[in-house]
Structure 1
Amino acid sequence: MANTKSVMVLVRDKIVYIDLGEILKQGRLSIDDIKGNTVYKAEIADSHYEVIILDQPRGKYWVNITSDSLKTKKSFHIK
C-alpha cells in the first residue's frame, strides 16, 4: 500500500534539489514538462535526496516519485 508524504523541491539556476524526507530503498523519479513529456527519469535506491541538473527552458514541471513506501506528485516552477 502506497503512502503520500511531503517532499521538498528547491530549484536554483536549473539545479533541482529534491529531499524525499526519508530513505527510499527502491523507487522511481521522473520530471515531466507541462505537455507531459518526460525530461528526466531515474531509479532511486537507498537514498533520501536527489540533485538534478536540467538542461531545459524555464517553465512548469511535475516531479513524480513512486515507491512502495512513498507516492507523491509535486509541481515546481523553474524561474
Structure 2
Amino acid sequence: MEFGAQTAFAGQVVRSETEGGVWDLIAGPDGARVILFAGEPLREPVVAQGPFIAESREHLQRMMDDFRLGHMGRLSPIA
C-alpha cells in the first residue's frame, strides 16, 4: 500500500505528522485493510515491543509479564 510518499507492506505501521489535509491511499492488487489512529502528539517517552506500548521499559516489561500470566483477560474471536 502506498501512503503519500511511503510504502507499507502487511503488518507494517506508517506514521504521518501532517496536520489536516487529505491523504491518498493506494492499495495493491489484493486490496488493503487499514486502521487509522489520529490524535494530538503525546510529547512523552514511548517504548514499544510487539503489540505493547508503554512509557518506560519497566512498565513495558510489567505489561508483558501480566499478559503471559493471563492477567489481561481474553478476547473473543471477531469472526
Task: Say whether the fold is shared (TM-score over 0.5).
Answer: no
The structure, 1 or 2, with the larger RCO (C-alpha pairs under 8 Å, 6+ apart) is 1
* TM-score interval, normalised by the smaller of the two chains: under 0.3
Q: Which structure carries more helix by proportion?
A: 2
Q: Which structure carries more strand by proportion?
A: 1
TM-score computed with the length of structure 2 as normaliser: 0.27
TM-score computed with the length of structure 1 as normaliser: 0.27
Task: Point out the structure with max Rg over C-alpha.
Answer: 2
